[in-house]
């Protein structure tokens, strides 16, 4: 399965300062478009640290934000939409 473009947003739809890889990893511990607190995201991420050391860095980044701040994982292209997206759009290659 291809990795679908995604972003990680606060409740006002402002993106958080995370890399694409970090956003993808957070997508593994969150439900799409469901607001949860930073504290809960950190708790879920800490459970994954043994498998993916990158979660430790993610937790450090998230600790800069208020623990009660709601955040959400938002795929730009959902898995249902993915078959209808051209390869050019998925790879950002318009040659």
For position 86, what pLDDT does the model report? 60
* Residue 72 CB neighbour total at 10 angstroms: 19
Count structural domains, the chain: 1
The answer to whether position 59 is within a domain reads yes
The answer to whether position 89 is within a domain reads no
| CB neighbour burial string for 37-68, b if at least 16 within 10 angstroms, e if fewer | ebebbbebbeebeeeeebbebbbeebeebeee
Domain that holds residue 17: 6-75
Bridge pairing between strands 6-10 and 36-37: unpaired
For position 39, what pLDDT does the model report? 96
The answer to whether position 48 is within a domain reads yes
The answer to whether position 80 is within a domain reads no
Q: Compute mean pLDDT per 10 residues along the chain, 95 residues long, and list them.
A: 55 81 88 91 92 92 93 74 59 52
* Residue 25 CB neighbour total at 10 angstroms: 20
The answer to whether position 61 is within a domain reads yes
Query: pTM score, two decimals?
Result: 0.72
The answer to whether position 42 is within a domain reads yes
The answer to whether position 86 is within a domain reads no
The answer to whether position 68 is within a domain reads yes
């Amino acid at each position: 399965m291809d990795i679908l473009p995604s972003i990680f947003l606060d409740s006002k739809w402002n993106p958080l300062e995370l890399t694409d890889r970090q956003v993808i990893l957070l997508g593994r511990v969150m439900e799409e478009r469901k607001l949860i607190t930073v504290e809960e995201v950190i708790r879920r991420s800490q459970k994954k640290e043994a498998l993916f050391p990158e979660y430790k860095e993610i937790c450090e980044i998230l600790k800069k934000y208020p623990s009660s701040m709601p955040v959400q994982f938002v795929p730009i292209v959902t898995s249902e939409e993915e078959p209808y997206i051209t390869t050019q759009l998925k790879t950002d290659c318009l040659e």
